[in-house]
Structure formats: structure tokens, C-alpha cells
Structure 1
Amino acid sequence: MKLVSVLPLDKTVRAETLTYFSALEVAEGDLVAIPFRKKILHALVTSVQDARAEKASIKSSKIGLRKISRIIRHHPFPDALIVAARRTAEFYATDTGSVLSAVIPTGIYKSGMTQDPIRPRANNETLVIQTDDEDRYTQYRTLVREAFHRNESILILVPTIQDAQTTHAAISKGIETYALVLHSDISSRELSKELKKIQEENHPLLVISTPGFFAGMPPRTSILIIEQEHATAYKQMMRPFIDFRFFAEQFAREAKITLVRADALLSVETIQQLEAETYHELIPLKWRSASKASSKLVDMAAYKPNLRGHIRSISAELEALVAHTRSTSDHLFIFAGRKGLAPLTICGDCGTLLTCDRCKSPLILHKAGTNRKYICRRCGKEKDAHVRCTHCTSWKLVPLGIGTELIEEELQKLFPKLSLFRVDHQTVTRRKQVRELVHSFYETPGSVLVGTEFAIPYLDKPIGNVAVASIDELFSIPDFRIHERIIYRLLALRSLAERIFLIQTRHKEHPLISAVLGGNISSFYQEELSMRKALSYPPFSVLIKLTVLKQKRADLDALIQAIAPYECELFPMSIVRKGKIFTSGIVKIPRKNWPDQRMQQILRAAPLSIEIAIDPDTLL
């Protein structure tokens, strides 16, 4: 009889390990089925001991041991995967089983990973690529050819299902038989078929996978690529809140394979690692974004409110571009930052945007009991609501916003016969619907598509004209990464345009807008890194976000006392989710001091009422 410790592969089990007994020939690393409460879970064996040697501890235990149900597969996963999961769990103060369950799809439990999943390399450094999509795809095709020549495989991680399909279409030509795609949208039968091919195929493979299918790694993998490494989809928005990019890096380091982080615009954290010479360039980074399209900047401050306080969302320049698109049977994509109205305030007389005195971000009007006040959601500075325009001292301050629905309504009034499409979370909810709608847009000459960020991954072909109806509302989002996201989004939109790229903004003097239109982004990185260092934001610190229901505020207060001397900075405003009010705060810990074992123990023992997100991608 054996005493067996296991890692439960289920995020609902908060314990790092559980103990069972078994008479089966079980060994460390085996995948087994265990009874847990009223369920049967998958688990990995971490240690096996002779039960006779532990007889005294078994008798003194107040909890009766249960028996392992069965052995599913002997040693199905490489040690590097387990080590990477442990390191990730340590960093994010969670349990190893939760991390493993996030990267191992259920279909792999039956088949396991390939017996020779990795091919260690003598030079297993982390390399970076910063260039446009087509150049990256060309580089990937070169890497695949070279790997296949060495009888080695490549795994490309992509953030979303649509990105998996787009990447596969771009680089699989000529190797379709050996290029596979793994994501949650394929059927269980198709997944089993693909996993079987990965197990049995002797030829090297290219596997393009979303993060949840990481364990579908092909045989003899020597290169792991994180495509669009800037994408927020790599960060989990639910427990255990891990970042798959972190896990991938830990795996590559332990497996001694080459890691490539690639995007049109690399994250600030990656650039900082490059400057520290922790990462290295695979090819020279492209610091200037080239575009065939001519750029136009429209100053929306020239448009004043009418007697009812309404301001046009469609400028004369954009109206002319729509008319030109129709007359030439071209296509136009109009981007809006929101599907609803954005909370901005402008002067009704001179059109000046009301901004923060400290950081120049737009101020947002909030209720404070029976009174009102302006709050800067970037730096937190507050201002009395009874203020005048800083430019002309007028009292006539007008709140406004531009969303996809408003743009659609105005276009319908201006062009009743316009072929108009709209893509946002209000109009479509399923990927198939979006693909069909975007296909109709491409196939309809003289058509206009209005959409949010939700539409962009589906725009897989160049578009004649691209316009940004409003980007100003994004500057008001209370997130330390918002400038990085704005420039990333604008450059992506600019790269889609073939003839005209137009931006409507009241921030015409903002250096970020100038960087986009000029295509020079190197100065942006230096300013962003300088700002984050001054404010102790990543990559110079690790943020821990604590969120709790307002009714459970006492739990948060107790945790804040327990983590002293670290301080928790509570957000000045509550967060509302699905009608429930939450209180949140952040703890800043110097990067060099994390992981902190004492802090981790406290966080792991915290009540489930507290949502803990370590190194979150956003503070929202």
C-alpha cells in the first residue's frame, strides 16, 4: 500500500497538494483520477511513499484518506511543464494545479503530450521581433523552413481564436499537411484527431495554438513564439489570474528552447528587458511604422455645440471621405473607442477639452453625494465641479461622447442609401456572425463599416480608407497602460489603410498622436518608461490588485493590516459590476522583492471573498 501526494488539476481546489492511498503501481509524474467531494478530478502524482513508514501519521490524522480511482497515463507531461507551472504559481500566489489546468485541455488528459516534446538548444535565449504583420509572417515562414530542415517543430502561441485562424492562413501555404491549429472552437472529435496526429506524425510540425492548448506542443519543439505578445488576452480575467506569457517564458527557460516575443509594437516591459540586455533582437527592430496611406488630422475643437448642446460626431472631412468612398466604390472602416457615450466635457464657447492640471488627461464628472466633482481617473486628482474653461473662462461646459451607435445614426441621416455595417458587442455576439458581417463589408463596393476594437481582429485584408471617429475617450480610462494601448491600436488601424488614414481628435497636440502620424515610436517608449519609473508602475514594480464586495469590506481591511508594512492604496471610486458595488485597491511591491514568501502565504490564506490579481494587465 502506498501513500500518494497529488496536484489536483482543478482551479476550484485551493490546496497545493492532496494525499490519497493506492495499491496501484503509481509513480511520480503519473496522471491519475481522484475522488474529491462528489466529483472525480484529474491529478498529477508528486510523491509516493510506503504507507507502512507513515503508519503513525495516518493513524493520527483526523481526516480519513481516500483511494485513487485509477491511473490514466504514466508520466504524460514533461518535467519542464510542471516546473513552469510551479514557478508561475509561486509568482501569482496560487496553486500549481490551477496553473496546469489552465494550459492543459481536457482532450490531452487521455492522450498526454508527445514522448519527445522538446528539443533543447545550445542557445536558448529570448529573442524579440518588432515589425509589421507581413514582415513577421515572412520571418515565421523562414523560421519554420529552417526548423523543418533540422527535423524540429515550432509552437506559435496566439491570443485569440481569430488570430489563430489568421496566422495559420498567412504562414501555412505549402505546408498545410504539417500545420495544425488548436483552439476551443474546434469540436472534441477534431481535437482528438489533431492530438493524435501530433502524437504519431514523424515529420516536424507547426502548431498554432491559443494559450489554453499549450500542452498540445508538437514533437521535438525547439522554438516557442508568442505572437502579438502585447495582447491583453494573454492575461486571465478570472482565477487564477495568471499571464500565459509568463508561463511560456518559464517553460522555455526550463526546457532550454528558444523563445521569440513578437508584435508590431512590443510591450513596454519587453523593451525594458531589451534595454537591460536580458532579451536580444532576432532582426533589427522597426522603430518607424511605414504606411502607404496619406494621414489626415482633424481638429474637432473647431466644432462647437448647437443650441441644444449637441456636437457633430462626423466632421466635414470625414463626411467628404464617406462620399468619396461611395463614389469610387471603395471601402471605409470607422473606428470608435466605445459602443456607448464616452464621458468627456468641453467648453461650449471655445471647444476646449477640460483636462487635468497635473497630467493633462480628460476630467470626468462624478456625483459625490448631493454634489458633483471632476476626477482624473489617471492620476486621481479631484476638482470642484463649479469650474470655468481654462482657455476662455466660460461657464458653458458641455458633457459629450461619441460611440458606434451615434456614428451610425449620423451617417444614416447624412447618407440614407449608404451600405452601412456595424460591429460591436451590441450588434453581434458570435464569431461566425462577425466573420459573415465583415465578409459582406469587403464584398460590398462603396460600403462603410463602423466598429469598436472588437472588430479589428476580423479585418484580415487591407482597407482603402480608415478613420478614427473618436479616440479621446480612451485617454480618460483609469489605466496606467492606456497610452500604450492607444498607440498600439492607432498603429494597427494605420497599417490597415491603403489610401487615407484620418483621425478626429481634440488632442491634436498630444505627443502620442504625433508619434502615430509621424510613424516614429521610439520617443514614446522612453517617455512611458520614465513615467512608470517615477510612479512605481510595472515593469519597475509588481502590482497586486485587491477587490471585494462593498459588504465584505471588513475582509479587505483585515488583509490590509496583515500585509503591513506594505501599504494598500484604495481607489477613490467604487467599481460597479452587474449591479454590484466593489471596493478595490492596489499594493505596489518593488520588482526585485517579488515573490515575497510571507506575502504569498497571507494572500493564499485570504478569504475567497477577496479577488486577488497579481501583476494585472489593467487596474479596471
Structure 2
Amino acid sequence: MWILEVTPISRSFLKGGPLTYFSIKKPEIGDVVEINLRGKNIPALVISGDKLESKKAAVKSGPFALKKINRIMVDKMVNCDFAKILKELSDYFIAPSSSILCFFLPKPLLNKNVLDKFGKNTVFLPEKPLSSNFKASIYQAERTERIKYYRGIIRESLSRGCSAAILLPTVSSAQDAFADLKTGLEERSFILHSDMSSKEISAGWKNISQSAQPIVLVGTALILPVLRQDTGVLVVEEESNEHYYHSLRRPFFDLRKAAELMAKKMGLHLVFGDIILRLDSGTHSHEYPGRLLSSAESKIIDVGKPSAEGFKIFSPEITDLLSRVIAKQESVILIGHRRGFSPTTLCQDCGQTVVCPNCSSPLVLHGQEQIRKRFFCHYCLKKEEVMERCPNCSSWKLASYGVGVEKLGEELKRLYPKVKLFRFDRDAVKSRKEALSIKQEFLDSPGSIMVATEIFLNYFRNPLPHIIIAAMDGLFSLPDYRMHERIMSFLIRLRSLAQKTFTIQTRLPNHPVFSYVVSGNIFGFQNDELEERRKLRYPPAVDLLKITYQDQNRQKLIANISALAKKIRTGETVKNQNFECVDFPAFVMRIRGRFRWHMLLKLERGSWPEKHPKIAEILKNLPPSWAIQIDPPSLL
């Protein structure tokens, strides 16, 4: 008889970690079994197994009788090392291991009928031919150079009889990378991502596991559970991409951390690659140039000086550039950072901002024609008719401020009515299929103009003639310690795509971030930013935990936050100057009628969670109304 620890493959909120069952037959770590939980038969992943003899005392003294598993559904469906790191991920991110597991295993694959078709044939072959130790490195360069580098290490790995895996943050980036890397290795290259059908995923999963020769595996999060035991190198491409952090809904965790734990457990060569890496990546060996060269003419245009003609969306230099390139039938990308027409509406008498009645966020004006204009809340999605009078003082003097992509588009239509205009933001692009269609139509229309937000970079990876940053200054006003890094990364990526001209229109021409971008001085920016974070004690100088609480009652919310802060300070056993606990209201304090408050814990770098067991225990026992993010991507 065998005593098993299993993680239910269920999105239900299960505290307390894995569950214990028994089996007559010996299962392997990574097997999928069927268990009865709360009266339902559901699949579960085996994460450990021991003979009854070694657990007899614990079983006898246990508070309840063990249940028997119903059956073994699939042999070795998941890499055994992946099954082992689930608890580490759960402990590090204070997230249920069952929720994390469901993130990695696509829902279509977990259908009972689909699992039954796997049968007993899924086996990871062959074993790794050579023993190896974990090694981490980074490669910072433009995409074409990175692809060349990856081809080299892939072929080196295959020549040693080892497979290679490339992890990417989005489906679009995975498909592009697969197209670039499979050349000459088509029969040994496989791709996995969440947009594939259950039939395609099942077939790919089996072929990956059963291939008699080393393979190249490219994909999104789905590739980590199916990494072969003969894998030698794991590449985390586009390492600084924000989509690696699962921050919009539970479970909150960083996929890059999962890749790192997997590489350590399997003894892989882990490579973080990007055009500009996160500052958190600077602890690994350096293999990249400190300055990025560009063939495009880079220029900063100062629009902060008062003009006799008043405010204009585009400076004379921008309109002159647009006229010249359109005459040559060359395409242009104009970038704005805000959706909608105008992000803020103010009363010119009382100074009140028009905000959402459900949230404390300003209502954003949408619509390019006056008759179609609406107010829209980007948080609760409430729509309202455009009001004519101030809700605070009833004044008629309401004025919209700021420039959204719709306002950019309206001005371009007025200036160039005959030019074909495209828009590429989350309001205009509803699906990946639609995004690819718009992208192709734009590329097939020379002399056209596209107005886009940063979603543009998720789909465009090949060079374009002209890129103009039309409205970016608003990002500098956001009080987040990562904001300069985010802006630098975004602009460096855009600059690398520009073939002929790269132009920044700004009221902040002397801001150091812009000078670093135009010169391509990555080292200079990283050194200055790291020094600033060291002084202010932000990552990578410390471990950072963000705890968020929401409640309709503001007084109750503040009281609960204060009680938790007191409990954490009392429970903190490592008394040193590196520990810090502060709380503050969220940047948007109220969403959908619920107030939001953040608490930040700053801990000694590398000490979480091992040196803070009491804090970890306190956080694990918090109810679901509390949200916990470890090394969060944003403090807002």
C-alpha cells in the first residue's frame, strides 16, 4: 500500500496544501489520478508517494481515515520535477498549489474524456545523457541577435543529446519565435500554447513526451509541466514582458520564478533574454553590450514652450515629418499611452474632476464624433452620457484634458483626410485574430498611419520605417517605483523597430530617461536606476510583498489593515533594519464601490519565505478578501 500526497486539479480555493490518499498500486510522481473530493470525482496530480510502512505512525494518529484513490488516469503526464516545485511556488507566492497547477494545465486538457484518451502511453524518454548543474545567464540584445544566439545554443544542446525549451509570455510571441527557430529542425520542433484545441494539445503533449530523439519545445506556460527529462537548456525569452506576472486574477505569481525553480530542480542552463532585461536580472553573468545602436535617426522634440498659436496635438516638426513620409508612401506608427479621446474632464470653475460614481477613477471621454462621445470607466466598465454641467457646482464650464489615441486619430483625419488610418488599442482590437488581421492590412497599405498604445508591441516585432511617440509624458506622473524602467523598456523596444526615424514629442525634453533612450545607453540607465532603488530600498535591493484589502466600509478596512500590520510586526522574528511595514491607500482607492488599501513589507533580499515563517503563516491564513503579491509588478 502507498500513501500519496496529491494536488487536486481544481480552481476551488483549497487551503492547507496537498491532500493525502492511499493506493494499492504504486503510482509515480507526475501521474494524474482520480480522487473523490467533496462528493465529486476530480483529477489530481501525484506530488509524492511513500510506502505505508514509513508512514504507519502518522496514519494511525491522523484525525481522519484516509480515502483510496479511484484510479490512475494517466501515467507520468507531468514532469516529476514540475510536480515537486508546486509546493515551493505555493509557499513563495502564498497561493494554493491547486490554483497554480490549473494555471499550467489548459482546461480543455482536463476534460475526463480527453484524459482517458491519454491512457498509459505518456512516458518521458530518454533520461538526460549527461549529468549537469544549474547555471543561469542573461543575453541582452536586439531580437534578431537573440534569435541567432538561441539557434546556436539549441544546436549545441541537441548535439549533446539534450532537448531545448524556449518559454514566451504570450501566444503571439510564441508563434513568432517558433517560426524563427524551427527552420532546419521542423521534425524535432514542437509548440504548445493555450489557443490550441484540446486535440492539438493532447497530440502535441504525447509527441513531446514520446519522441525518441531530443526536441526543441517552444511555447507559453504549458511547456513547463511537459519539459522532458533530457532537457539541457531553458530560455526565458522577452524576460521583462509584464505578461509573465499573473497579476490580474488569482493565483498571483511570476512565471519567471517557476522557470527558475524548474531549472534549478532539473540542473538546466537557464537563459534570460530580452532587448532590455529587468533590473532584477542583473545578478546573473553578463553577456551583452551596454549601448544599443540604431540605424534610425533619433530625435527629441520639445513641445513644452508656450506658443502664440496655443495648444497643438502635433508640433510643426511632427506634421512636417508626416507630410514628407506620406508623400514617399512610407508607413508611420504614432504611439500614445492612453485609450479613449481625453482621459480627464475638469470643471473650470470649481476644479472638480468628473469621476465614476462607482470608483474614484476619472471618467474617460471616448468617441471621435461629438454625437457618439461617451464617458467610460476603465475599471468598472460603466458607461455614461456626456454631461453638460459639473456634478459638483452645476457649472457649464467643463473641459476635457489630455490626449488619448482617439484624439490623435481625429487630428490625423483632419490633417490628412486621404491617408488610410488604423487604430491599434484594446478598444479597437478585441481578439488576437482581429489584431493579426489589422496588422496584416496595415503592412499591406504603404503610406498609411497607425495610432497605437503599448499593446502594439505584442504583435509587431519586425522593423518599421517611422515611429513617433506622440503622447507619453503622462506616465511620468504615476507614483510607481518601476515606472521609469517600464518607460525605458517600452521606448527602447520601439527604437529598435524604427528603420529610418524615431521621434519623441515631449514637454520633458531634459528628462534623463529620454536621453538614455535616444543614445541607447542601457548601462547608464540601469546603473542610475539601481543606485536610486538601493537608496530608497526597492527591489532588487529588498524582497517586496504587497498585501491588498478591499471593503465597502472604509473604517472597517482601515481597522483591519492596522490589525494585520500590528500582527505582522509582532510576529516578525528577524529584528533588523531591513524590515519595514507601511500601508497606504491604493492609487485608485475605490473600485466598484469597494475601498482598496495596500500594505508593503520590505524584507532582506533573498530572505523570503525561509526567514519569515511567522509572517508566511499569518498571510496563508488570511481570507480570500486579501490579495497578496510577492515582488509585485506595480504598487498602484
Bin of the TM-score, shorter chain as denominator length: 0.7 to 0.9
1:598 is matched with: 614
2:603 and 2:57 map into 1 onto residues whose CA distance is 44
Q: Secondary structure of the equivalent of 1:564?
A: helix
2:563 maps to which residue?
558
User: Do the aligned partners of 1:559 and 1:606 also contact (CA within 8 Å) in 2?
Assistant: no
1:437 counterpart = 2:448: no
Counterpart contact for 2:191–2:217, Cα < 8 Å: yes
Distance 2:235 2:55 in 1: 47
Mapping 1:124-135, distance limit 5 Å = 124-135=134-145
Once the two structures are superposed, residues 309-338 of structure 1 have per-residue CA deviations (whole angstroms, 9 ceiling, x without a partner) of x73222222212222222111110111111
Residue identity opposite 2:268 in structure 1: I
In 2 relative to 1, CA 432–246 (structure 1 residues): closer, same or farther, beyond 3 Å?
A: same
Secondary structure class of the residue paired with 2:190: strand
Deviation, structure 1 residue 14: 2.1
CA contact (8 A) 1:549 1:583 kept: yes
Residues 1:176 and 2:176 are matched in the alignment? no
- Correspondent of 1:202 among 197, 209, 212: 212
| Residues 387-413 of structure 1: CA deviation (Å, up to 9, x unaligned) | xxxxxxxxxxx9831211110010011
Q: Secondary structure at the match of 1:216?
A: coil
Q: What secondary structure sits across from 1:80 in the alignment? A: helix
How far apart, CA to CA, are the structure 1 residues paired with 2:306 and 2:412?
17
Deviates more, 1:296-305 or 1:222-231: 296-305
* 1:302 counterpart SS class: coil
Q: Residue 224 of structure 2 aligns to a residue in which SS?
A: helix
What residue is the counterpart of 1:359 in the other structure? Answer: none
Structure 1 segment 498-517 matched on structure 2, within 5 A: 498-517=499-518
SS in 2 for 1:246: helix
CA distance 1:423–1:477, shift in 2 (3 Å): same
5 Å-filtered alignment, 1:21-40, equals 21-26=22-27, 30-39=31-40, 40=42
Q: What is the rounded CA distance, in whole Å, between the counterparts of 1:42 and 1:134 in structure 2?
A: 42
1:246 to 252, 257, 262: 257
Q: Verify the 8 A CA contact 2:167 2:237 in the aligned structure 1.
A: yes
Structure 1 residues 134 and 547, CA, compared in 2 at 3 Å: closer, same or farther?
same
* Whole-Å separation in 2 of the counterparts to 1:468 and 1:113: 51
Cα contact 1:343–1:365 (8 A) shared by 2: no
Q: For each residue in 1:574-598, what CA deviation from the matched residue of structure 2 results, as whole angstroms up to 9, or x when unmatched?
A: 5344554322222222224321111
Separation in 1 of the partners of 2:54 and 2:460? 64
Q: CA deviation at 1:572?
A: 6.4
Instruction: Map 1:113-512 onto structure 2 (within 5 A).
Output: 114-116=124-126, 118=128, 121-218=131-228, 220-237=230-247, 238-271=249-282, 273=283, 279-281=284-286, 284-302=287-305, 304=307, 311-340=311-340, 400-512=401-513
Moved more, 29-38 or 476-485: 29-38
2:193 counterpart letter in structure 1? H
Contact residue 344 and residue 354 of structure 2 kept, 8 A = no
Match of 2:533 in 1: 532
Contact 1:341-1:400 within 8 A present in 2 as well: no
Provide the C-alpha distance between the structure 2 equivalents of 1:52 and 1:145, rounded to a whole number of angstroms.
Answer: 45
Contact 2:331 2:464 in 1 (8 A): yes
Aligned residue number for residue 588 of structure 1: 602
Contact 2:586 2:597 in 1 (8 A): no
Q: CA deviation at 1:98?
A: 3.5
Are the equivalent residues in 2 in contact too, given 1:574–1:583 (CA < 8 A)?
Answer: no
Mapped contact 2:79–2:226 kept (Cα < 8 A): no
1:119-159 alpha-carbon deviations (Å, 9 max, x no partner): 65545311110111000001111112222222221100011
Counterpart for residue 609 of structure 1:
625
One-letter amino acid of the counterpart of residue 322, structure 1: L
The alpha carbon displacement at 1:118 in A equals 4.9
CA drift at 1:97 = 3.8
Determine if contact 2:237/2:272 at 8 Å carries over to the other structure: yes
Aligned counterparts of 2:511 and 2:345: Cα–Cα separation in 1: 17
Q: In the alignment, is the contact (CA less than 8 A) between 1:555 and 1:607 conserved in 2?
A: no
1:9 aligns to what? Answer: 9
Amino acid at match of 2:45: A
Which residue of 2 is the match for residue 387 of structure 1? none
What residue identity is the alignment partner of 2:338?
Answer: R
TM-aligned CA distance change 1:324 to 1:120, over 3 Å: farther
Point out where structure 2 has 5 or more consecutive residues left out of the alignment.
Answer: 361-398, 571-579
Q: Deviations over 1:262-307 (max 9, x none)?
A: 1110111112x0xxxxx223xx41211111111121111135497x
SS at match of 2:441: helix
Cα gap change, 1:574 to 1:428, in 2 (>3 Å): closer
CA distance in 2, matches of 1:56, 1:172: 51
CA distance in 2, matches of 1:49, 1:207: 35
Residues in 2 aligned to 1:305 and 1:569: alpha-carbon distance in whole angstroms: 46
Q: How many residues align?
A: 564
Q: Secondary structure at the match of 2:304?
A: helix
Amino acid at match of 1:299: D
In 1, distance between residues paired with 2:418 and 2:190? 44
**SS, match of residue 44 in structure 2:** strand
Give the letter for the 2:566 counterpart. Q
The superposition leaves residues 200-220 of structure 1 with CA deviations (integer Å, 9 ceiling, x where unpaired) of 322321111102432232462
Amino acid at match of 2:567: A
Paired residues of 1:77 and 1:113 also in contact (CA < 8 A): no
- Which sits farther off after the overlay, 1-10 or 31-40? 1-10
* Aligned-CA RMSD value: 3.0
Cα distance in 2 for partners of 1:305, 1:184 equals 55
Identity %: 30
Q: What CA distance in whole angstroms lies between the structure 2 residues aligned with 1:221 and 1:54?
A: 37
Gaps of 5+ in 1: 274-278, 349-363, 373-397
Which residue identity does 1:335 align to in structure 2?
I
What is the one-letter code of the residue matched to 1:582? R
Provide, for residues 553-589 of structure 1, a one-character-per-residue CA deviation record: whole Å limited to 9, x for no partner. 2543432222114523223655344554322222222
1:333–1:448 contact (8 Å) kept in structure 2: yes
Distance 2:57 2:229 in 1: 43
User: Does the CA contact (< 8 Å) of 1:105 and 1:213 recur in 2?
Assistant: no
User: What is the deviation of 1:366?
Assistant: 10
Partner of residue 394, structure 1: none
Structure 1 residue 240, shift from structure 2 partner: 2.5
Q: Is the 8 A contact 1:34 1:43 kept in 2?
A: no
The CA distance in 1 between the partners of 2:29 and 2:177, in whole Å, is 38
Distance 2:420 2:30 in 1: 59
The residue type equivalent to 1:471 in the other structure is M
SS in structure 2 opposite 1:215?
A: coil
